[in-house]
């Protein structure tokens, strides 16, 4: 069993901002101006579909697996010596379109997670293929599980209390359901005995939907460590592995968790 208390602290940066509708170049240039403020972070999180906004025009907007966004993330990760992550529209090798989170490491490797739960109320399930694999990334010994937006509503997909130290959600979550976002995120932290970092966008998209941000970081008891509100900018927080280890020792509810398996 690993000694979680021996791990170094993890410095996390959340970038909450507006997105230019269907304009990759404008978005990447905009993030270029913000990323320097995140220097010193170990992990930098961008919103869902950060190059386009939340769009169903997958056939028009999809880029190859090793396309411009992937290259840009690799370059930025190397420059800042940090992992940078966020989701983009990708055409996979099998020809399917995916809402894919890219996890770019400073060493040049890019890993990914494909969004499992597609938001049918916007028709996402008609334009994208869902992922069927949970993913666990490691950074400085921390075990980090990435998820995308609508995944937040499905607790079983987030569930893995024994292995996950940080749940990461990247989103385009509209202001109309702000209340749900702010209730579900603490629930995921509490039930999994882990930190939660969630990044949303602000502004209005090309369909007229307004986004109110509320990017935040929560501890293992669902307490707020960072809250961005509706502000535009870069927000940083330091997570303590020792605090997480101490809490799990005092309150090892994970030992009584139900066991289950997924049926696809």
In sequence order, which residues have a C-beta less than 8 Å from that of residue 7 and are 6 or more positions away? 140, 141, 142, 241
Q: Give the active site residues.
A: 48, 115, 149
Bridge partners, residue 43, by sequence: 12, 83
Dihedral of CA 164/184/55/116: which sign?
A: positive
Positions of E strands within the chain: 10-16, 43-45, 63-64, 83-91, 97-104, 110-114, 137-139, 142-148, 166-170, 195-199, 202-204, 210-212, 216-218, 224-227, 233-239
């Amino acid at each position: 069993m690993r000694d979680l208390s021996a791990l170094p602290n993890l410095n996390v940066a959340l970038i909450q901002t507006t997105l230019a509708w269907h304009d990759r170049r404008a978005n990447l240039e905009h993030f270029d101006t913000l990323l320097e403020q995140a220097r010193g972070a170990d992990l930098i999180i961008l919103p869902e579909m950060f190059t386009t906004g939340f769009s169903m025009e997958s056939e028009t907007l999809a880029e190859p697996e090793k396309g411009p966004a992937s290259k840009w993330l690799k370059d930025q990760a190397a420059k800042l010596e940090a992992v940078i992550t966020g989701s983009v529209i990708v055409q996979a090798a099998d020809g399917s379109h995916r809402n894919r989170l890219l996890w770019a490491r400073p060493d040049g490797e890019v890993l990914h997670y494909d969004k499992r739960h597609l938001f049918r109320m916007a028709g996402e399930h008609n334009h994208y293929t869902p992922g069927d694999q949970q993913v666990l990334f490691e950074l400085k010994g921390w075990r980090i599980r990435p998820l995308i937006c609508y995944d937040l509503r499905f607790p079983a997909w987030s569930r893995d209390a024994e292995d996950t130290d940080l749940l990461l959600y990247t989103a385009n979550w509209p202001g109309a359901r702000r209340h749900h976002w702010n209730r579900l995120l603490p629930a995921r932290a509490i039930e999994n005995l882990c930190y939660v970092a969630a990044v949303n966008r602000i502004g209005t998209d090309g369909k007229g939907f307004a986004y109110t941000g509320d990017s935040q970081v929560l501890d293992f008891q669902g307490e707020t460590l960072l809250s961005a509100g509706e502000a535009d900018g870069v927000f940083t927080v330091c997570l303590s592995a020792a605090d997480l280890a101490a809490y799990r020792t005092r309150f090892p509810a994970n030992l009584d968790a139900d066991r289950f398996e997924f049926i696809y």
